[in-house]
Amino acid sequence: MDQRQLGPFKVSAIGLGCMSLSHAYGSPPPREQAERVLLGALDAGYTFFDTAAVYGVGHNETLVGEVLKHRRNEFVLASKCGLTNGDQRELNGSPAVLKATCEGSLKRLQTDVIDLYYLHRWDKRVPIEDSVGALSELVAEGKIKTIGLSEVSAATLRRAHAVHPITALQTEYSPWTRNPEIAVLEACHELGVTFVAFSPVGRGFLAGGVTDVTKLEDGDFRKGMPRFQGEAFEANLKMFGGFADLAREVGCTPAQLCLAWLLQKDGAQVPIPGTTNPDHMLENAKAAEIRLSPEAMARVEALVNPQTVTGSRYAPAMQASIDTED
């Protein structure tokens, strides 16, 4: 796979988001299937794997550590802190909690060092300077190599970067979530921070993976997202029809169209699609080989944009917990 720069690291142009193997989209897959996704991704050329302490409250880090420890030198490992306190889900950016979370992550991941360690969310009760300062101490101690931020605004990124160089900023970005275009992408370019796009296929919707919300499992957090509810969902399904038609014209799948669009939209960013399906993991990797014409790029943006997508990204309570430009 093509390579891109991520701070001091060279990584595959498309990384693997590991969350869905443990968390958020209903029941996790069987262990054997999860192993096929992780090991198959390495064999397919993925060299950037993204997990977090909160995914399954430790389950995902344990899975990644157990399955990939014998191939640890083949990939760049990212994890996150700030949304757990011990074995509890809790937004907490205090230095002591962040450091304790890192110790737990190192044990679960069965590694001596985490390559990229994100503050998963900014706890606004704690100055960003204090949280990033704690992470900088972990760098000095050799427990993490670089620092990242997730779901923060351009202004917060600049404040954090003044304390310690930030390697990556991660937030949701896809044809149907364009918030980073307001200010964050420009700030990343200005500061030399790599942008990492999570949910790059619209939480499966723009891959054609959600055509009937009644079939979503209990525990699937998409059930609480406005875009997947009622009339908004029906309107988005109609919008998706044109997007799927364009993918067929281009000669790729809808998921690949999303990823190819992102890769060409910004030659420096790294999308990290997740999946529980080994075949979809391979399909996503092949998106790095697709080159879209200027016309196709423009048609993607005309079909799927803030004016054609119905519903907000998060429900109000979740939206209040993040620090990004609306």
Q: What pLDDT was estimated at residue 100?
A: 97
Q: What whole-number percentage of the chain has pLDDT above 70?
A: 99
Report residue 121 CA to chain centroid gap. 13
CA distance 230 to 213: 9
Q: How confident is the model at residue 123 (pLDDT cuts 50, 70, 90)?
A: very high
pLDDT, tens digit, for every residue of 232-268?
999 999 999 999 999 999 999 999 999 999 999 999 9
CA distance 274 to 63: 15
Global pTM reads 0.95
- Average the pLDDT over 288-313 and give the result: 96
- Cα separations in angstroms, 214 against 127, 221, 313: 42, 13, 19
| Domains by residue range for the chain, with CATH | 3-203+262-290 (3.20.20.100)
CA angle 13–14–16, rounded 5-degree value: 145
CA distance 274 to 56: 15
- The half-sphere exposure of 304 on its side-chain side, counting CA atoms within 13 A, is 30
**pLDDT greater than 80 at residue 191:** yes
Bridge partners of 88, per DSSP, are 85
Q: Could you give the residue numbers annotated as active site?
A: 55
